[in-house]
Structures are given as structure tokens and as C-alpha cells.
Chain A
Amino acid sequence: MDWDIVIGIETHIQLKTKSKQFSGASTAYGNEPNSQACLVSLAYPGLLPVLNHESVNCAIKLGLAINAKIARRSIFARKNYFYPDLPKGYQISQMELPIVGPGYLSINANEKKKDVRILRAHLEEDAGKSSHGVSQGKTGIDLNRAGTPLLEIVTEPDMNSAEEAVAYAKKLHELVQWIGICDGNMQEGSFRCDVNVSVKKKGTEVLGTRREIKNLNSFKFIKQAVDYEVNWQIETLEDGGKIDQATILFNPETGETKAMRSKEEANDYRYFPDPDLLPLLVTEEQIDEIKKLMPKLPDEMQESFKKELGLSEYDASEIASDSEVTKYFLALVDSKVNPKLSANWILGNLYSRLNEEEININQSPIDSQRLAELIKRIEDSTISNNAAKKVFDFIWDKSSITVDQAIDELGLKQISDSGEIDILVDQVLKNNQLMVEEYRSGKDKAFNALVGQVMKASKGKANPSQVSELLKQKISK
């Protein structure tokens, strides 16, 4: 039997603010337990929330980036439940009237472009952390994270494969870093996905019962968890079983998903407007201010790379998929280096070297300025492209040496003196009469061989285009 897979994703991103959502405590990661638990984070009696301005700006930025409606008036609500890492006994979130309304994000998966509709995005606060078993039978509560600003971004159930789910997550992950609202650090929990999965018989309209896989913090896990879950659901249904709505956890060690224990305790969160917080109003002017500060978005960037700089579809999308790569690329273009050549170098030599070293482009020992110098030497025919690769490898870990010094040191300067090349060409023509004849009788390959011979004779330093020019002149005489 054939099945349709239906996936929706809720992503919690930690916003890149200095202080918490409703208090002036630090949001820094990894400090000693409870050292960043201020009285608001601790929910002391008498303490009140005051909203962080920067979080609101972050939410507006996201709204603009996903072509969404930004609510001029939004409301904070309390979501009530007891858990030891939730100090107030409620989480401040937004229920009705979230700050960001419907929008969409375009993804590419399986070579197909698709718009994933985003239902809403709302501001809320993170909980603290529980460490189970600090000592026998005990759980320790650290409230450093409690109150960290979160933006929850909720899609419609628009994805139909694990690949699409991953493509969406990657695209969103890139976007939120690009617009500077999240550091994207998935290991530290800055970007976490809850993935809702259901299956239905192909062609039927009614959605199947969904199960929500909580807290996936790597793209690999999303893929694995969705694949496992889809298989499990299909098998269960094909065996005549029934799917119950559930919250499930993915175990990366076994690659399996499993329902959480506390299922029968169907939660009743008793949302109601938070009386401590007034309606959040956003004006047209505020939105315009933020618009001015927004960088060009990846999709717009990609278009302009294609249209204005003449990059291929592939190169444009590869470069525009990462804000740091884009920055690097634009720096090259700004130093008046040929854009296509720049793209080739970034996606070719630079990428493979970065991969080898497992570092990011902003950690590259060859910065954009040095790479620009190198590419300029290709453009002005000082060295050949092949020679440039040698220079690239040579200067990789030598920051003190200039590109020109490296070219000299490696003796790679191209011969562009026509007199010298003239002599070499004459020699090659004399020693390869047969090939000349073959070329004259119509074999084009023979010409390439002759060029090769001259290059060899020059130890690769002759300018290839000059060589072929001269050869053509001399043969046709």
C-alpha cells in the first residue's frame, strides 16, 4: 500500500540577546549552576516580568524574513503546568495573537522547490535544566537557562518527506543566523525542532493521527527520527494497529523513537492573558526601522548573484546558503575580483581545504583579502590557474608571506615575454613536424598536443593563451 507522509515542524530558537526575556539576568551558556538565576528567574514572591526590547526586534526580523504579517498588537499568555525547572509554575508565551502571523519559507529538496507555509511565530521563555540522578534518586535544578528568550516558529503540515523536513530545518537554521537573531548552536540547544509526523493512505484527504518527536537538535537526528517514525507508523497501520496521539522521544543511540511515559496525564495548560504584561504594540515606524537594518535575505542574494554577477544557479545558491560564505564572497567581489572566478575558488579549493581541516570559512587562514590577491595574479596572467593552486596550498599556513613573495619563492611566475615564448614555439614546431601535418589535415587534437609541448618546455610558466596564439600564427604561415 502507498502512504503519504505529513510533517509539520515547531522550532524553538534561542534569541541572540544579552539578557533574559523578562529580566536583566545574563543568557550566557555554560556557567556555574544558578549563577544567572536572578530573582525573576527564581520566581521569587513579588517579582514581575518586563519584556526585552531586543527580543521584539528579533521577532520582527524573522517576520520580515519569512514574508509574514507582523501583529500590531500581540498578547502574552500564561501556560500553566508544574515542573521543577519551571519556577513560576507557568511559562509566559503567546497563545492568541502571536507577534508573527502567517508567512512562508522556500525550500529545495529532492531537486524540487517548495514553499513551506509558516503558521505563526511567538515569543516565549525557556525553562531551566534538570539533571537527573545528581545523587541517588535526586534531580538537580539549574535555573540559568530559565527565562532565556525563545521564538517558537510553527509550520503548517506542509512537508512530505524526511528530506523536506531536513531541508526546511536547514533553511530556517541558516536564515535565523543570517538575520542575526540566533547563534544557531544546536549542541547548546539554541535551535531545537519538535517534529510532528503522521501518515495517511495515498490520495485520502483526512490527516492521520500525529505523534510529536520532541527536541531534535541535529539535522541527522531529524532525518533518522522521521524515517524511523514513518516506518513504525506505516507498519503499525498495516498490521491493523492504531496510532495514538503522543509525545515521543528520539534515542540517538538506538535510532528509535519511543512515547514518553506520562501520557495519561493529558495536560490542560489553562492559558490565559498574563495580567502582569500589557498588550505589546508594534508600530509601522518600528517595523520600517528594522527593515532598514535587515540584510538582504539568502533568496534575494542568490537572485542578485545570478542576475548581477553572472553566477550559475548552482554557484549562486551554494554561496547564498551561508551568510559567512556570502560575506567572504562579497569581499572578493568588492576587491574587484571576477565574481565567477571567485565563486569557483571558494566552492573549489577553499571549500575542500576547509572541509579537510573541519573549520568554518570565518576561521580560514586565508582571508578574503589574500584570496583576492591570489586571484588577481591569475587575472593579470602572472600565474596560471594551476600555479595558483600551488600558491594557495603554500600560503595556507604561512600568514606572514605575501602572495607575490610566494609566487617568487615557488618560481611560478608565468612567462609572458613573447620573445622567449617565440623561441620555445619555434623549437617545438621544428621537433614535431608530424603533428603539424596532422593538424593541417584537420585533426584539432594535434594542436592541443602542440600547446602542451610548449607548456612542458616552459615548465608550465608560459601563458597558455599566448602560446596558442603564436602557434596558430606560425602554422598558418
Chain B
Amino acid sequence: MLNLSLQSLALHLEKKTFSSAELTQFFLGRIKQHNPSLNAFISIDEEKSLTMAKKADELIAKGKKSTLTGIPVAQKDIFCSQGWPTTCGSKMLENFIAPYDAMVIEKFNEVGAVNIGKTNMDEFAMGSSNETSYFGPVKNPWNLDLVPGGSSGGSASAIAARLAPAATGTDTGGSIRQPASLCGFTGLKPTYGLVSRYGMIAFASSLDQAGPMAISAEDCALLMNVMSGHDKRDSTSIERDKEDYGSKLNSSIKGLKIGIPKEFFGEGLDSSVHTLIDAAIDQYKKLGAEIIEISLPNNHLAIPVYYVIAPAEASSNLSRYDGVRYGYRTKEYDDLTDMYFKTRQEGFGEEVKRRILIGTYVLSAGYYDAYYLKAQKIRRLISEDFTNAFKQCDVIMGPSAPSVAFNAGEKKEDPLAMYMQDIYTISTNLAGLPAMSIPAGFVSNLPVGLQLIGNYFTEAKLLNIAHSFQKNTDWHLKSAKGFE
């Protein structure tokens, strides 16, 4: 059951080599065994998962099966799931049992997939190392001293350690791609608006986007088929014809024009990572692609712009956590003001508070024009860089992260160093473009991810480009020692 693709798991379920209950039990067993050392999951509910599995088995028996029926999927704890604790990695929501399902959860439920548990994450998805979670840091299966990346670090660790065959993540500034890079698997951040944000706890509304995390591009395509689609409950959800994201997987990539932005290979990029990315691009050349040097001249502004826009939106999105209607409320207080101040002081972690404060500052009277408005304008420049680039090429490639996984605690007290983790990923969130990270090799036994950035709505094409690589390499199939 381990290391099988979603397609072959589905085939086995159909042929009844094993049942969904058995498959679920198998992964629950692995979680039990490894979660204490990895801390990838915040909540596990065997009974709920097995009930779902049994239902899936009934569907399979009746022949009412779609591809993901009965397949266990780990859900990032940012998605509200009815009856499950949904904490968003925060003390604020420690005891919050969601009374409804997010669209993503609904979609997986509809096809009879099994929720195998809720994965750990940086608090309110703010972080790049999964060290800001109230429920403790997540460990990288490749080396337990290292971070898995963030904010979808729990899902990342779970996939890398094979605690689940598939997982969901969300990506506001790189939160799917950077952990995919640091943990060595495949992750896709779709075009903004393709996956509904309904029921996905908001961090920065104009940037947040959910996406799949799995071993291969092929698996990600199957997950995308389930997750995507228009939702009337999200005003920013896009209405498009339903697409089969796996339909182009095996198309030829001969003549593909790959844009290489010189800004992605400058100072800050670890030289051994650089070497591996070059090698991966060479591999594409061998597959018939054409390499074009391009420029994203405003990319160096992406981090400053992001650290205005994301905290600004977050400061407002997180105002609802006030201890009045749900969630944490401080134990002792003198009056209403005192209740607010203490609830939010105690309920939020340091990184979240820092970002709320930054966001409040950049929106406050006298600073709005210099910060928030300025950032919105530069956001357009960054976005236009991509528009221009895609006039010359079909896909943009570069590293997903500047280095391999780093030591836990190494950057925790240095927000600026931590923020640099997302230097190659943030600009696509600002522009709303789709992007992937795929395994491209190892530096001293630690995985390195290659980033692929596509034009709007070219997910199927991106998956095709990724799959072409994965047919010719096996980096994505390698698993960490101790978790084989």
C-alpha cells in the first residue's frame, strides 16, 4: 500500500485487493507509529476515518466509484470539517469544532475520499518552517532536526513520511511549494480563484489558494479534479468549464519554451541548489524544450510588497477572533476592553501578533498611502512582469526555495531570514498565477524542489510539464530513511 500512486490504489480498491477500511487502517497505523516523532497531525479520529472508509467500501461494492473513492487524504487544519476540531494551528481555535464543511472538504466527501486526519500547520498559515504552530513544531522526515517548511508543514511531513498518500495545503506566499521542496514531493498552487476559499480559514484573502500535495504530478492532477470548481459562496471563485487536469499529462513537451528568470539565480540562492536546478533544466532541454533567458525585474520587491499586503489583510481577517462568539476567551478580565486585549494577547502566537501589528500599521491613518497603496501599485508591476514574460515563454522555471531544509530554531528568532524562504514563490501569489514544486534531486540527502510557474489557468499544462520530467527521473519516488 505504501508508495503506490493514487491511480494504482484506486485500481486495487476496485479489484478489492484490499478495502478502503484496510487501507485507512494501514495509514492510521503509520500515523500512530510516526506522528509522535513528526507531529504532522493535530487531530486524528480513527472512528470517523474508518466510518468514512466503510462508506467508501459500500460505494465501491455498489460500483458507484470515482477515482478517489476510499483513498485517505490528510487535510490541512485550515479547512473547516464538520465535527472535527479545526484549529488553524492556533490556541485561539484550540477547542473549535467546525459546524460545517469547507468546499474542499465537501468535494472530497462527495467522491467518498477518507479524511485521515487534520494536519499541523503554522498558526493561521503564517510561517515558513512550521514552528509557529500552537501545537508544536513539525519535523522533516528526511532529518528530524530540520524543519519541513511551512505553512503546510504537517501535510508536507505526512506525504514525505508516507503517512498519507495525498494531502491538501494552502499557499499564500509559498506554503505549498516551499514545504514540497524541503520535503521532496509534488505540490501545486493553482490559479487564484480555481479552488473555493469557502470554509478555508482566511490569512490573506487576495492571495490564499488551496492546492494538492502528493508524490507525483499525476496524483496532483487527480486531486485537482476533485478540489477545483466554481462555488457561489466565494465571490472570488471563478466560473469555468470543468477541466480534466490529467488529460494532457502525456502530451509531448517538444518545443516547450522555458523562461529562466535571471533574478531567481542571484545572491541568496544556495550554490548546490543552483547546480541541481541547472541540471533539471538541462533534463528538460534533453526532452526537447527550448531555454530562454527572461527577466522579472521587480521580483526583488515581492517580499516587501507581500509583507504589507498579507499582514494588512490578515490584521482585518483576524479581528473576528475576539472571544465573543466562539474560540478562546481569557479567563480573567475586568471589563470588555480588558477581555479583548488579553484574549488576543494570549490566544495568538508571536508571529501572528507581529503580522497583525504590521498590518494595522500599514493601514493606519498617515501610512496607508506610503505602504498599503504603494504595495498595491508595485503588486501591479510585479504582475505585469509575468505578463511580459509569458509573451516570450510557456513556462517559467527556477528554484522553489533558496536552500534545502534548515535547522529547527535556526531562523525562528529572525523573521527577515525566515521571510527570505519565500523569495521565489511570493510573486506568483501576488500575480495569482499557478505554480508547482517538483523534486529535482538531493543535496547531502536533502531534497530540492524545482519550481514551475505557468500562465493563468494552465494547470493541466504545468502538470504535463511536471509529469514529463517525472517519467524520466525518480527523485519524486525517493522516500526518507526510516519511512520507506
Contact = CB atoms under 8 A, between A and B. Distances in A.
Interface of A: 39, 42-51, 78, 80, 82, 84, 87-90, 139, 141, 143, 268, 270-272, 275-278
Contact of B236 (A39, A141, A278): A278
Contacts of A141: 324-325
B322 A272 contact: no
Given A48-B198, A89-B320, 14 more contacts: A43-B320, A45-B86, A46-B98, A80-B315, A84-B336, A87-B325, A89-B316, A90-B316, A268-B365, A270-B316, A270-B363, A271-B363, A275-B204, A275-B206
Contacts of B206: 275
Interface string B97-121: 0111010000000000000000000
Interface string B308-340: 000011011011101011100000000010001
9 contacts: A46-B102, A46-B200, A46-B201, A46-B202, A84-B324, A143-B325, A270-B315, A272-B368, A275-B313
Given A39-B99, A42-B325, A88-B319, A272 B88 contact: no
A432 B98 CA distance: 99
Interface stretch (B216-224, B227-235, B254-262, B264-272): B227-235
A124 to B, nearest CB: 15
B113 to A, nearest CB: 19
Contacts of B99: 39, 44
Interface residue SS majority, chain A? loop
A88 B320 contact: yes
Contact of B80 (A45, A90, A270, A271): A45
Given A80-B363, A268-B365, A275-B206, A48 B235 contact: yes
Contact of A45 (B93, B204, B316): B93
B372 interface: yes
Contacts of B232: 50
B197 interface: yes
A89 B202 CA distance: 14
B60 to A, nearest CB: 31
Contacts of B70: none
A88 B204 CA distance: 15
Contacts of A276: 202, 205, 235-236
A92 B88 CA distance: 24
Contacts of B98: 45-46
Given A48-B234, A50-B232, A50-B235, A90 B319 contact: yes
Nearest to A79: B316
B417 to A, nearest CB: 28
Interface centre among A47, A48, A50 (most CB of B within 10 A): A48
Contacts of B470: none
A249 B102 CA distance: 43
Contacts of B191: none
A39 B372 CA distance: 30
A180 B388 CA distance: 50
B340 A82 contact: yes
Contacts of A46: 79-80, 98, 102, 197-202
B233 A48 contact: yes
A42 B312 CA distance: 22
B235 A49 contact: yes
A100 B372 CA distance: 26
Contacts of B201: 45-46
Contacts of A50: 232-235
B51 interface: no
Contacts of B322: 82, 84, 89
Contact of B319 (A39, A89, A268, A278): A89
B442 interface: no
Across the A-B interface, the 9 shortest Cβ-Cβ residue pairs = A89-B319, A275-B206, A275-B205, A270-B363, A46-B199, A43-B320, A45-B201, A46-B80, A268-B365
B96 interface: yes
Given A46-B200, A141-B324, A80 B336 contact: no
Given A43-B320, A88-B319, A141-B324, A272 B93 contact: no
Contacts of B86: 45
A90 B465 CA distance: 43
Contacts of B372: 272
A152 B99 CA distance: 34
A450 to B, nearest CB: 82
Nearest to A23: B233
Contacts of A78: 316
Contacts of B168: none
B313 A48 contact: no
B181 interface: no
A78 B204 CA distance: 14
Nearest to B339: A84
B95 interface: no
Given A43-B325, A276-B205, A87 B312 contact: no
B316 A48 contact: no
Interface centre among B99, B318, B363, B364 (most CB of A within 10 A): B363
Contacts of A275: 204-206, 236, 313
Nearest to A80: B316
A465 B313 CA distance: 82
B67 interface: no
Interface in B270-310: none
B82 to A, nearest CB: 12
B128 interface: no
A129 to B, nearest CB: 14
A271 B80 CA distance: 28
Contacts of B365: 268, 270
A270 B80 CA distance: 29
B129 interface: no
A79 B204 CA distance: 17
B18 to A, nearest CB: 34
A48 B365 CA distance: 27
A175 to B, nearest CB: 31
B360 interface: yes
Contact of A39 (B100, B313, B368): B100
Nearest to B204: A275
Contacts of A43: 320, 325
Contacts of A88: 319-320
Contacts of B325: 42-44, 87, 141, 143
Contacts of A139: 336
Contacts of A45: 80, 86, 88, 93, 96, 98, 201-202, 320
A50 B235 CA distance: 6
Nearest to A46: B199
Interface centre among B102, B234, B320 (most CB of A within 10 A): B320
Nearest to A82: B340
Given A45-B96, A278-B236, A270 B340 contact: no
Contacts of A48: 197-198, 233-236
Contacts of A90: 316, 319
A246 B233 CA distance: 40
Contacts of B100: 39, 44
